[in-house]
A = this chain, B = another copy of it.
Amino acid sequence: MTALRSFQSFLYQHIPLVAQMKMELLDLTTQELLAAAPLAPNINDKSTVFGGSSAALMTICGWSLIKLQLESHGIENDVVIHRAETTWKQAQYDDLIIKAMTIDDVDWYEVAATLKSKNRAKKITIKCQVLNQKQEICSCMSANYVVLKLNS
């Protein structure tokens, strides 16, 4: 869990909005990142979750999943979000659970090897969800990220 705590500190230090949203990284597998955020800093005028918070939290969770996997393979290339389709399905009245998942299981060894040997940009699609405390999906996002070439 140390890698997650350290990555969260990095996010809080360099992306002030992530600190404001009080996002906490909870668990990481090779294909999924789990996070949480309290309602209070992410609330709107109707006392439900602000749609902009959901979008921002999913954006950063998808990015973090890729960065964490690449870093564990010694890859320091920049990762940027390129496109996303987001759907807000229902109002959410409680604390947020955020998940970022690969679409098909990604072979990170292969991704790392390709980036190292060919130094090409690489597109990765991540599916993100914000769930309420009943584990119902309140919003979801399919997002394309690009791992940039070194020095690009």
Contacts and interface: CB of A to CB of B under 8 A. Distances in A.
A60 interface: yes
A69 interface: no
B78 A10 contact: no
A63 B87 CA distance: 15
Nearest to A53: B17
Given A17-B41, A17-B52, A17-B53, 14 more contacts: A15-B44, A15-B45, A16-B40, A16-B42, A17-B50, A52-B60, A53-B56, A55-B56, A82-B87, A83-B85, A83-B88, A84-B84, A85-B85, A86-B86
A122 to B, nearest CB: 17
A78 B63 CA distance: 32
Nearest to A47: B14
Interface residues of A, number: 37
Interface in A43-95: 43-46, 50-53, 55-57, 59-60, 63, 78, 80-88, 91
Contact of A16 (B10, B43, B83, B84): B43
Counting from the closest, the 10 A-B pairs by CB-CB distance are A52-B56, A14-B45, A52-B59, A55-B55, A51-B81, A20-B20, A56-B56, A84-B86, A15-B44, A83-B87
